[in-house]
Amino acid sequence: MSRTRTSTRPARSENATGVLFGIGAYGLWGLLPIYFLILLPATAVEIVANRVLWSLIFCALLLTVLRSWATVRTAFANRRVLGTLTVAALLIAVNWLVYTYGVTNGHAIEASLGYFINPIVSVLLGVLVLREKLRPLQWAAVGMGLVAVVVLAIGYGNVPWIALALAFSFGFYGFVKKRVGPSVDAVTSLSIETAVLTPIAAVVMIWLALSGGATLTTEGPGHFWIMAASGIITAVPLIFFGAAARRLPLTTIGMLQYLAPVLQFILALTVFREEMPLERWIGFGLVWIGLALLTVDMVRTVRKNARPRKSGQQQQPASV
């Protein structure tokens, strides 16, 4: 009797799937400057206003397909959640506006710096806002970040306000979103945040149209549809990120997040041809050393917490 062999491909592990989603999210965010370059001569204000409006339309379609309108209604009915997401919406609007302005006005390198120093700023916010106690390596990383800002201020001839505005706005955005917790998924959160910003974006678009500053309908159908794609370009990385966050430990997410500013930095040098004098290399080098210290501290802390408390004690299974 011959046995029938069944060849089955092993299912991809949740961790590997999470890594792919994470690379997709941070890779798309890292390539975002190219999209803004294609949208010229649109200004940063118009790009962000369109991003809000088209994101809301895309989210509405997505919520209809997923049949998730009940979740949005529940979140809207909760005053605490709605208030928190309103603050988050204003913070992310500032972040989008500053980042788009930086990329479209010859400051893409400084914009990438903002996302490089964001983890250091998040640690600093933990001290200033949450009164957290830092470990030695975290203090060293914060110190490196502060010295880097001074060096870059000397190199730029002024304070790198674009980088600081991006780092602090996104740092506070993450802090505010944590107050919502896992009760609101990425699509619902984006839908509510864009809904909150929609009246402002609509007024901006009307003002631009009346003043002759709108390019949405004046640069041809190609420009119109590329601008309309901002809804998809905004939502898809967030969905990928949510899928990655559910599957990966915090350390892996923390390391993957550097992919976006690395890609932005490379694009600024190779595509946008921005200058990178010696003092900027020194400043960025100090930031990268600070990030390395944070990464080492994060890995050591996770390993320490993962050890069995005593030999002979049964170790609890890790949550997945």
For the stretch 144-162, pLDDT in tens is: 888 888 888 887 778 889 9
Whether the Cβ atoms of residue 251 and residue 242 lie closer than 8 Å to each other: no
Residue 311 has pLDDT above 50, yes or no: no
- Long-range contacts (CB closer than 8 Å, 24 or more residues apart) made by 139-144: 140/290, 140/293, 141/290, 141/291, 141/293, 141/294, 141/297, 142/290, 143/290, 144/120, 144/286, 144/287, 144/289, 144/290, 144/293
Q: Please check the confidence at residue 298 and state whether its pLDDT lies above 80.
A: no
Percent of the chain with pLDDT over 70: 90
- Mean pLDDT on 219-234: 92
Three-state secondary structure readout of 221-248: HHHHHHHHCHHHHHHHHHHHHHHHHHHC
In contact, 240 and 27? CB cutoff 8 Å: no
Measured between alpha carbons, how far is residue 103 from residues 17, 34, 51, 167 in Å?
31, 9, 15, 15
Average per-residue pLDDT for the chain: 84
18 is written with which tokens?
A: 């999470």
State the average pLDDT over residues 184-210: 91
Listed as own residue / partner, the contacts of 153-159 with beta carbons closer than 8 Å and 24 or more positions apart are 154/279, 155/277, 155/279, 155/280, 155/282, 155/283, 156/110, 156/280
Q: Note if the bond before 10 is cis, omega within 30 degrees.
A: no
Residue 307: pLDDT band (50, 70, 90) is: low
What band does 128 get if pLDDT is binned at 50, 70 and 90? confident
Give the per-residue pLDDT at 315: 40
- Domains of the chain, by residue range, sit at 14-131+160-275
208: pLDDT confidence band, cut at 50, 70 and 90? very high
Statement: residue 314 has pLDDT above 50: no
Does the pLDDT at position 101 exceed 90?
yes
Instruction: Give pLDDT, residue 9.
Output: 47
For the cut 80, the answer to whether the pLDDT of residue 273 exceeds it is: yes
Per-residue pLDDT for 220 more than 50? yes
Instruction: Give the per-residue pLDDT at 27.
Output: 93
Has residue 50 got a pLDDT over 90?
Answer: yes
Report the residue count for the chain.
Answer: 320
